[in-house]
Structure 1
Amino acid sequence: MQVSFEDFKFNKQLLTAIADAGYTMPTEIQQRAITPILAGQDVMGVAQTGTGKTAAFVLPLLMKLKYAQGQDPRALILSPTRELALQIEENIKSFSTYMDLRTVVLYGGLGPKTQKEQLSKGCDIIVATPGRFLDLYLAGDIHTKSLKFLVMDEADKMMDMGFIGKIHRILEVVPRKRQNLLFSATMSELVHKIAGDFLAFPTLIEVTEQATPASTVVQRLYDVPNLKTKINLLQHLFMDDEAFHRVIVFCKTKTVADHVYAFLERKYGGENVRVIHANKGQNTRINSINAFKSGEVRFLVATDVAARGLDVSNVSHVVNFDVPIVIEDYVHRIGRTGRAFNEGVAITFCNPAEQYYINKIEKLIRQSIPVEKLPQEVFIEKTPFDEKQAIAREIDNQKRKEDPDFKGAFHEKKYAPKRGATRKKRSKR
């Protein structure tokens, strides 16, 4: 039986906002999470990115809060990154258009003055990164006694980023009697641990097998020997500007991201490309994401700082210029395309040292990524000596990780000079 948003007994204001946002049918996570949340249960939702997770907790939360009330926050939503915090705030604004609920978003990277002023005016919902929330709480700017709802979004990323200590500190300062919601794309041991500390007899909702990429994403893999050939392949693919009309290129490091950005800027002009990574200021990152969302910019080059919570519709392609080392990030990266029932394509470039991580990713997602042949038009560059050495060293390290007794080409060797070598040199003189 097909479920509609009317079946959840939402009020008219919420239903009108849902219709205005262009939502017609609830996704699976929304269908299964909204009713228990409305019933006041603790919920643990495991769902991949791009499945409508944010709306699954924002809609019932708004329904339960209904209207502005008092000075202090009644709901706290914790997010691992500022980008995701802003994304959640955007969702709340969109769905609460016809309600008078007040939301404040708190994150680091900016001075706290404006955020303190917003808090002093009163709010119903706080969306925050853990560090900034604690800073403002300890400074006396946040009073938690009225909190009725605590939501932890992207719990796995929170654990990866080392927030477990801050989360425990927050759990100490919020009221015991509250409704808890935890959402995660994957279920690591640390997520299990925090769930045990955080949730009371939760309703578990797992909409797909753990870490399964969205079925709307077509995956492709190219074996590419080195960095220069990766650039050549990128150039070849992007010649099809009709197909590759809105692309996110993911890189492992800031250095590689800047390198790819410089190439695309030279090739397609600065107005068509933006880069975001940890060295970019907060405003620059937000402006770049907004320019990409609005369609002004064709290419967004990013490190994994942008892999989560970046909700952009109609991303035609995700290109993994580098294979992610944190293998769960593969699912998050490719989840940026094929969102909300649209089809998308995820293309991964893999050098010999990255094959190790591809094997682990395939194990995680329980499927093989189809390998494509390099197009004939792509010029295969010779691997420079330094890069060849770095790849060989990395492969040695991987083998050593799997087998501690492995002695690779790069373990310490002491070479004795060959007998007669000096004599020969002298005779040549």
Structure 2
Amino acid sequence: MNFGAPWDSLKKSIPQVPDALLHILKSRFSFTNMTPVQECAIPLLCQHKDIAAQAETGSGKTFAYLVPIIVSLIEKIPRLLDVEDESLNESDPRSGYIHALIVAPTQVLAQQIYDVLIQIISRHYVLLLIGGTDAPIDQASGSLLDRPLVVATPGRLRYYLADGLVSLKDLEILIIDEADQVIVSKDFPYIRAKLPSQRRTGLFSATFDSVTEADLALLMRNPHVVKLYNAAKEQDMYIVPQNLVMWYKVVPYEQKLYMLLRHINALRSQHKADSPKKLIVFFMTCSMSQYMSFAFTHIFELLPDQQVGIYCFNGKQSQETKIKNYNSFLADTRFAVLFTTDISARGLDISDISHVLQFDPPKLIATYTHRAGRTARCYRSGDAGIFLGLEEIGIVSLLRTRGVPLRELTSEQDAQLFDVCTTDMPGCEFTNLITSPPASPDRSALTAEEFSTLQASIKELTQKTKKLTRALATNQQRASLAAESADSTTTAVQKMQSVIHTTIELPLNEARKRLSILLEQEKNYLEQKNYMYDHNLTKFLRQVQSEKREVFESCQRALETWLSGYNENEAKLIFNVEKLPLGEFAVSLGLLKLPNHNILRRKHINFKSVDIDVSKIVYSNPKREESRQVQLDISTRKKEAREQMRQERELSRHKEGSNEITEAIRTSLTQHALSHGNRVPAQFSGEARLLSLLKGGKITEDEFDEMIDDLALSGGKMSKNPAKIRKWRR
């Protein structure tokens, strides 16, 4: 595809560009013409100018700074482009100092830049500094082997700078990729202090939201700012590729996982060997991406011939696991899906990515365009979508005001991206999971909080009905006896019956009618509530969790971290976790029980746990399960020992009369409160404080008794035991 001027035209403005480099770009990378950012940035950097280049994702920014670096190095190292020259070794002379430094925010991006470089120049002249890898160290000098070109992440670079293994005093070119992320990182101020004042600097990113003019002034002198916008979008804050289709789909939370399954299945059915498709799915947290990879691996194992490859890539994995999964995803010729987090939102350049889906919204609004930019690379076409809950639709207007052309799916697009294809798997169990969506609850029905109020009203009316029924029976019996009495007149009996009818029968009938209505509402709510648990996909996921402990624990962590992450979203007014149907979402994930999270504790959650002992769920790995059983046994014995010690202390306190002291103090405090209000006498101030802590749940009954003992024995003075002092001061 022709984008701009041919690469050969560089010879006119930059005569020192070697023909061998242009030949490599054409033969190895199939480049014939430069992209706009390359056409603007390469001449400026080669002319020793500082630049800040902002261009859309996938626009060729990497080669915009690699070419000037190679041009400047080739004059010093003639053998630089001898990629396949095996005669080079670690003892060969190189430049003797770091000539150029490329800083990237993530290991993935740094590794990717390094992989591109070693296709152009010999690997003996490039040094990669990222976490999880060991850099070569010269045993004689104790410093890193001299490499003229270094690619590094901020954290790793700072580590080597602090240890004196790397020196930047002779640095000539500094390149910062995804500059808006690197500059605000905690390690960059330290790195900036080590930079020489005389150098060329290039900043490259798709967004510069977090980069201020002060940041530019600290890094560059009279920078040339290069901003490349689409012709029709000169006022956009965010720059998006022209060939990228960006859409959103409103999906109720109880259907999100099901709709993701339909999306993957629809793309799988369209996959062809001669036109490969790959999908990246972004999640908010590492744990959620890990659980989803477990879940979808088990789901697609139901398909014949393993037609879908599921891979997970997140920051919690070891470097070895990340590299293995990433390379497997690239090499898979089937329809492959990568479940990942924002670790892949920047710089990940895979040509086969045809679709991107954001299952969860990003924490930062600017990250949306970076996620979407993993497809439509180098002016190819691409498709990027996001699932939004009914409560999150406000983000669409916000993104549009920032220049993101986000549109709701048309019916035609919806059919293409979410059509249920089961023709190639008749009778397969997978068909049962995908043919019908989970029923959505009636949004006009009661919320969990309203249902709780309803139950309280039912309880109150039930008690009132019983009380009125007893009163009616008693008073009717009295009226009957009065009617039989010779002393009672007809008028008196009628008056008594009228009073009974007015004060008891009418309120009782009204209470019964109201109770009947509320009981009907309760019945409807419970019937509506149970719809979630009957879907085949939910049953399947719960069955998997009940058989494999690693999946069960992964699902628990997934919801916990997701709740915390969602609560930290930049757009809190739109993404408010308190408004979400958390119970329905938890059921759709297949949770067996709710995790212990403060958000779940303070809300009424529409969720029914599975009636099984989750401690009996075993790991599929025998060694891991054996280790768990050993830990369980140790924990059980410790618990029994603690209980035995507690009983012995309690028995000892009974013998010493401690309980009588405690009860006397409590009685005295109660009597004083009745006669003097809330004022506590000075001699009981310590005991009152302890009693307050006990009632507030800050200390246990045993701790209360123990501290009362200390007060009694010390004459009301606080114990010198540090542990007890900490308890006192809580």
TM-score range, shorter chain: 0.7 to 0.9
The structure, 1 or 2, with the larger RCO (C-alpha pairs under 8 Å, 6+ apart) is: 1
Any idea what the Cα deviations from partners look like across 1:109-136, whole Å, max 9, x if unmatched?
Answer: 44x4x34459733201111111211111
Q: Which moved more, 1:165-174 or 1:306-315?
A: 165-174
AA of the residue aligned to 1:157: Q
8 Å contact from structure 1 (residues 236, 378) kept in 2: no
Any idea what the Cα deviations from partners look like across 1:317-376, whole Å, max 9, x if unmatched?
Answer: 101111222111111111111111211111211112332333322222343423346668
- Equivalent in 147, 161, 169 of residue 145 of structure 1: 169
Q: For residue 198 of structure 1, what is the aligned residue in structure 2?
A: 219
CA 385–338 in structure 1, closer or farther in 2 if over 3 Å, else same? farther
Any idea what the Cα deviations from partners look like across 1:277-301, whole Å, max 9, x if unmatched?
Answer: 1211112112222222233461100
CA 64–275 in structure 1, closer or farther in 2 if over 3 Å, else same? same
Q: For residue 7 of structure 1, what is the aligned residue in structure 2?
A: 9
Q: For residue 38 of structure 1, what is the aligned residue in structure 2?
A: 46
Q: CA deviation at 1:145?
A: 2.3
Q: For residue 420 of structure 1, what is the aligned residue in structure 2?
A: none
Give distance in 2, aligned partners of 1:408 and 1:336.
Answer: 31
Q: Which moved more, 1:250-259 or 1:178-187?
A: 250-259
Unaligned runs of 5+ in 1: 414-429
TM-score scaled by length of structure 2 = 0.50
Any idea what the Cα deviations from partners look like across 1:141-192, whole Å, max 9, x if unmatched?
Answer: 1122221001111011224xx41x5322222212111001111211224354
SS in 2 for 1:238: helix
Paired positions, count: 395
- Equivalent in 238, 243, 247 of residue 270 of structure 2: 243
Q: What pairs up with 1:84-233 in 2 under 5 angstroms?
A: 84-96=109-121, 102-110=125-133, 112=134, 114-116=135-137, 120-159=144-183, 162-163=184-185, 165-208=186-229, 209-226=236-253, 228-233=254-259
- Equivalent in 55, 58, 68 of residue 63 of structure 2: 55
8 Å contact from structure 1 (residues 78, 127) kept in 2: yes
Any idea what the Cα deviations from partners look like across 1:11-32, whole Å, max 9, x if unmatched?
Answer: 1221121012221211111111
8 Å contact from structure 1 (residues 362, 369) kept in 2: no
CA 399–246 in structure 1, closer or farther in 2 if over 3 Å, else same? closer
Q: Which has the higher helix share?
A: 2
Q: Which has the higher strand share?
A: 1
CA 333–95 in structure 1, closer or farther in 2 if over 3 Å, else same? same
Give distance in 2, aligned partners of 1:366 and 1:234.
Answer: 23
CA 200–246 in structure 1, closer or farther in 2 if over 3 Å, else same? same
CA 62–101 in structure 1, closer or farther in 2 if over 3 Å, else same? farther
Q: For residue 83 of structure 1, what is the aligned residue in structure 2?
A: 108
Q: For residue 259 of structure 1, what is the aligned residue in structure 2?
A: 291
Give distance in 2, aligned partners of 1:282 and 1:381.
Answer: 41
TM-score scaled by length of structure 1 = 0.83
| Larger CA Rg, structure 1 vs 2 | 2
Give distance in 1, aligned partners of 2:280 and 2:572.
Answer: 34
8 Å contact from structure 2 (residues 246, 406) kept in 1: no
Q: CA deviation at 1:225?
A: 0.6
Q: CA deviation at 1:305?
A: 0.9
Give distance in 2, aligned partners of 1:307 and 1:2.
Answer: 27
CA 333–3 in structure 1, closer or farther in 2 if over 3 Å, else same? same
SS in 2 for 1:222: strand
8 Å contact from structure 1 (residues 258, 275) kept in 2: yes
Q: CA deviation at 1:311?
A: 0.7
Q: For residue 341 of structure 1, what is the aligned residue in structure 2?
A: 379
Q: For residue 477 of structure 2, what is the aligned residue in structure 1?
A: none
8 Å contact from structure 2 (residues 169, 195) kept in 1: yes
AA of the residue aligned to 1:88: I
Unaligned runs of 5+ in 2: 12-16, 81-93, 230-235, 272-276, 420-434, 442-446, 450-528, 533-561, 581-598, 603-730
